[in-house]
Amino acid sequence: MDETAALELKHISKYFGSVAANKDIDLTLKRGEILALLGENGSGKTTLMNMISGIYYPDEGRIFVNGEEAVISSPQDAFRYRIGMVHQHFKLIDIFTAAQNIVLGAGGKRGISHINEEVKEIAEKYGFEIDPKKKIYDMSVSEKQTVEIVKVLYRGADILILDEPTAVLTPQETEKLFAVMRAMKADGKSIIIITHKLNEVMAISDRVAVLRKGEYIGCVDTAGTDPAALTEMMVGEKVTLNIARPKPHLERPLLEIRDLTINNDEGSRAIENLSFFIRGGEILGVAGIAGCGQRELCETIAGLRKAESGGIYHEGESILGLSPRAITARGVAMSFIPEDRLGMGLAPSMSVTDNMMLKNYQDHGYGLKEEPVSEDDPPEVAKKKAARNKFISFLNRHCPFVDRKKARAEAEHIIEELDIVTPSTETPVRRLSGGNVQKVLLGREILTEPNVLITAYPVRGLDINSSYLIYDILNRQKEAGTGILFIGEDLDVMLALCDKIMVLCHGKMMGVVHADKTTKEQLGLMMAGALDLEEEKGKPMGVAKDSRIGEDQA
């Protein structure tokens, strides 16, 4: 076997102003191997891969492909060196077919029937399941990902970079992807996979390279390490997830959903006849493939979306149809982390202080202070104070004039309590790392002292250390008696963090299971619709009372 490296980086550095995103990195990718790249958020993984794929150009160092020095200054250069990158966020045109997306930009003049045959040949060679004629908008997430991988293979890539390829896949879909990756490896392809899921690193990779704060820490054989050791390499210290599962604080539900039906933006069913409840001091996880109604469920509970039918009850009283402010005032808070962390919930150009009070400035005493009227005040003074107070009350209701002292004090409290790394309370949140952005958003919701917290994808895109900090925050809220609805992507974490897990498939409930009495494989089957515990019980889906959900949630 030729021992020449497929890809070799020597002393690679990249600077953005005075900040070193990558500093003096040496990295080798062997021919026919799968190399996992690990590192915390901000460790330089994406920057390094962007230099390999031609998006950035290194300020220092050299890149070698198959033993020869390569100059990669654009994605087209990368393709010429047979390097292809599959990004986490797909670059596909929805109205085109799979084959049209695959050939787009590849050059040459070939008929669509010939392209379809070429795509089928690639699929059969590596074990993909793909319909070249299918439109992208009709595809599942895993099908779209298949199109992206076939697209780089169609262009002749021998070196593939996969960025978080399993982020939204079921365990069964992940196994199919890994089977394809092993087939590509057997064909001589060299693969770099970026993932935060250590169990997947152990399952698929031959070696693991670790970056920390822009520097290369080392590379180890996967067979000779374990998740704990890899975590310590990434973070620089041991990190553990300690989750307690005490009995719920309350037997009576804090939040109850009865026969809820919701439409999505296109008018189709997003959620159908869904019923469940959450008690104080417990975490109910929601597992499901992306797009199974999770977002619509969160928005409806928070008052942001209209329900078609059914009911939502908080402490026994209906909150369906109330405004988001009224729902928040009753003790229900929502923390939703979209793919763009700053695209929903926070104002990126505003400071930590401003973001803390943005949602609740009317309810938390941030408004301008009224001057008390004393019995000893002369009539003229009392009249002036009353007029001034009336004007201040109007401003507090209708205008964004606020007293920042209390807001700044609360921001300082949250920064200290949640260990938010920021230069000051006045730093714009766009300058914070992903983990700290998440903590600002969660901290603001916790500041309202809710007894029900709806949190969706709170660790999306975060490294293991930042993720564990978020999990610790949620666990502390649970221990304080808060009922938490947790929507996440990592089933291993969900099994460790949640008390129970509700599984959705195409907006319908497949069942509610105890986290300590189920497996990831069972959850995967339920997510795919292959296992329906509701049907096995012989009871109609969506029965609202404890006759159904009490068995699972007792």
Task: State how far the Cα of 27 lies from the Cα of 13, in Å rounded to an integer.
Answer: 12
Beta strands in 137-265 (DSSP E): 159-163, 190-194, 207-212, 215-221, 253-263
Please enumerate in sequence order all residues whose Cβ is within 8 A of that of 452, keeping only pairs 6 or more positions apart, or say none: 254, 255, 278, 314, 331, 332, 333, 482, 483, 484, 485
**What is residue 312's predicted lDDT score, i.e. its pLDDT?**
95
Task: State how far the Cα of 527 lies from the Cα of 529, in Å rounded to an integer.
Answer: 5
User: Residue 531 in contact with residue 491, Cβ under 8 Å?
Assistant: no
Q: Residue 133 forms beta bridges with which residues?
A: none
User: Residue 280 in contact with residue 325, Cβ under 8 Å?
Assistant: no
**What is residue 384's predicted lDDT score, i.e. its pLDDT?**
81
Full-model pTM? 0.67
Kindly list the structural domains of the chain, giving each domain's residue range(s) and its CATH number in brackets, ordered by start. 7-235 (3.40.50.300), 254-331+450-553 (3.40.50.300)
User: In the structure encoding, which two tokens stand for residue 104, read together?
Assistant: 């787009």
424 phi and psi angles, rounded to 5 deg: -165, 175
317 phi and psi angles, rounded to 5 deg: -110, 140
Task: State how far the Cα of 6 lies from the Cα of 194, in Å rounded to an integer.
Answer: 18
| C-alpha torsion sign, points 359, 360, 366, 367 | positive
CB atoms within 10 A of CB 518: 18
CB atoms within 10 A of CB 310: 20
Rg (CA), the chain: 26
**Of the candidates 253, 301, 238, which has an alpha carbon nearest to the alpha carbon of residue 274?**
301
The 3-state DSSP class for residue 236 equals coil
283-287 and 500-505: which strand pairing?
parallel
**What is residue 13's predicted lDDT score, i.e. its pLDDT?**
96
User: Residue 130 in contact with residue 123, Cβ under 8 Å?
Assistant: yes
What does the pLDDT look like over 12-62, one tens digit per residue? 999 988 878 899 999 999 999 999 999 887 788 888 999 999 999 999 999
| C-alpha torsion sign, points 473, 479, 481, 485 | positive
- Where are the alpha helices (H) located in 155-226, listed in sequence order? 171-186, 198-204
CB atoms within 10 A of CB 506: 15
**Of the candidates 492, 493, 465, which has an alpha carbon nearest to the alpha carbon of residue 38?**
465
| C-alpha torsion sign, points 361, 364, 370, 371 | negative
Task: State how far the Cα of 373 lies from the Cα of 174, in Å rounded to an integer.
Answer: 68
19-29 and 7-16: which strand pairing?
antiparallel
User: Residue 466 in contact with residue 419, Cβ under 8 Å?
Assistant: no
**Of the candidates 516, 460, 548, which has an alpha carbon nearest to the alpha carbon of residue 282?**
516
Identify the segments of the chain with pLDDT beneath 70.
Answer: 1-3, 107-108, 168, 239-250, 336-345, 359-370, 391-403, 433-435, 460-462, 536-554
How far does CA 224 lie from the centroid of its chain? Answer: 30
Q: Name the region of 267 (left: φ>0; alpha: ψ -120 to 50; beta: rest).
A: left
Task: State how far the Cα of 545 lies from the Cα of 332, in Å rounded to an integer.
Answer: 21
| C-alpha torsion sign, points 152, 154, 155, 160 | positive
**What is residue 536's predicted lDDT score, i.e. its pLDDT?**
66
Task: State how far the Cα of 185 lies from the Cα of 263, in Å rounded to an integer.
Answer: 43
**What is residue 543's predicted lDDT score, i.e. its pLDDT?**
37
432 phi and psi angles, rounded to 5 deg: -90, 160
Residue 3's Cβ-count burial label (10 Å; 0-12, 13-18, 19+) is exposed
Task: State how far the Cα of 296 lies from the Cα of 173, in Å rounded to an integer.
Answer: 24
Q: Residue 9 forms beta bridges with which residues?
A: 27, 63
